[in-house]
């Protein structure tokens, strides 16, 4: 994996089964055209924030659940080719006409994977996060994230991925930059942590927060970071 597409959406809770069926159909197409993995995660522990949060990121309404999703590719070139095939396939058009959520409020973009190669163990739970990071802090963020990932893996995480904003379009209603109030000199980082279970995640974070290695300066504004805990509903 060298490139990912990231997505955040607000889905009516009563549409969960319909959404899963829709996502499974889409995943089959993505795999057919060259994607290596498609993951959809259903909001479980998504807190409200003081400055911003994932709910506000997609203008979620009462009764809607946050979905955090991503698609993995071996390269950006493969991702671009998959996108072209998806856009020209009549099956995609048919699916776009029956989306069980408001796609206009979905935020999406393409991200270059900075670190986190490998996949160990089944994912029973995921943490997802978005950050606005100054472009000049790319190396500082990489150093920070490598240390952060080492601690979390020592505390039970299976995998920690950090992906740097590369093809992150502006949206008419909302988008990734607005979700974290990014300035013109910042890009968005799309990050997730894979855990064996919710229990392992809660215990892991408790242990990690006591680790002295976590006492490092953040190369970004932590108050504008948005995050949440999610249950995987599709992983192919």
| Residue-wise pLDDT tens digits, 68-91 | 999 999 999 999 999 999 999 999
Length of the chain: 236
Evaluate if residue 105 carries a pLDDT over 80. yes
pLDDT for the residue 118: 59
64-73 and 37-45 beta bridge pairing: antiparallel
194 strand-pairing partners: 126, 159
Tokens of 117: 């190669």
Best CA proximity match to 58, nearest among 6, 1, 133:
6
Q: Residue 151's pLDDT is what?
A: 95
Residue 1: pLDDT over 80: no
* H-type alpha helices, the chain: 16-33, 54-57, 76-88, 90-96, 138-154, 176-179, 198-208
Q: Where are the alpha helices (DSSP H) in 118-161?
A: 138-154
Answer yes or no: is pLDDT of 25 > 80: yes
What Cα–Cα distance (Å) separates residue 142 from each residue in 25, 51, 180, 221, 227? Answer: 35, 25, 19, 15, 19
Distance between CA 67 and CA 25 in Å, rounded? 17
Contact 129, 227 (CB under 8 A): yes
Place of tokens 């080719």: 81
pLDDT above 70 for 203: yes
| Residue 38 burial (10 A CB sphere; 0-12, 13-18, 19+) | buried
All structural domains of the chain, each given as residue ranges with its CATH number in brackets, are: 3-235 (3.30.70.100)
> What pTM value is reported for the model?
0.96
Cβ contact 141:220 at 8 Å: yes
Burial of residue 96 (number of CB atoms within 10 Å: 0-12, 13-18, 19+): exposed
> Between the CA of residue 208 and those of 32, 46, 214, 221, what are the distances in Å?
39, 20, 7, 20
Tokens of 169: 């379009």
Say which DSSP state 103 is in: G
Kindly indicate the confidence band of residue 107, based on its pLDDT and cuts at 50, 70 and 90.
Answer: very high
For position 63, what pLDDT does the model report? 98
Pairing of strands 64-73, 186-195: unpaired
């Amino acid at each position: 994996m060298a490139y990912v597409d990231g997505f955040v959406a607000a889905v009516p809770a009563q549409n969960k089964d319909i959404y899963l069926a829709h996502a499974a159909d889409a995943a089959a197409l993505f795999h057919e055209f060259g994607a290596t993995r498609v993951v959809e995660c259903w909001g479980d522990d998504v807190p409200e924030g003081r400055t911003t949060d994932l709910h506000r990121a997609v203008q979620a309404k009462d009764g809607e659940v946050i979905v955090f999703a991503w698609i993995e590719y071996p390269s950006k070139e493969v991702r671009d080719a998959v996108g072209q095939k998806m856009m020209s396939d009549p099956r995609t058009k048919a699916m776009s006409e029956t989306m069980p959520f408001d796609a206009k409020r979905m935020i999406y973009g393409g991200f270059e994977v900075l670190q986190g190669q490998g996949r160990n163990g089944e994912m029973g739970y995921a943490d997802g996060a978005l950050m606005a990071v100054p472009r000049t802090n790319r190396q500082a963020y990489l150093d920070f994230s490598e240390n952060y990932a080492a601690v979390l893996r020592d505390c039970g995480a299976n995998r920690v991925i950090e992906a740097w904003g590369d093809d992150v379009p502006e949206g008419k209603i909302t988008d990734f930059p607005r979700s974290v109030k990014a300035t013109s000199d910042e890009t968005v980082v799309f990050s997730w942590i894979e855990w064996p279970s919710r229990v392992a995640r809660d215990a892991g974070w408790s242990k990690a927060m006591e680790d002295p290695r976590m006492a490092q300066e953040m190369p970004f504004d932590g108050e504008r970071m948005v995050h949440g805990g999610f249950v995987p509903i599709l992983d192919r």
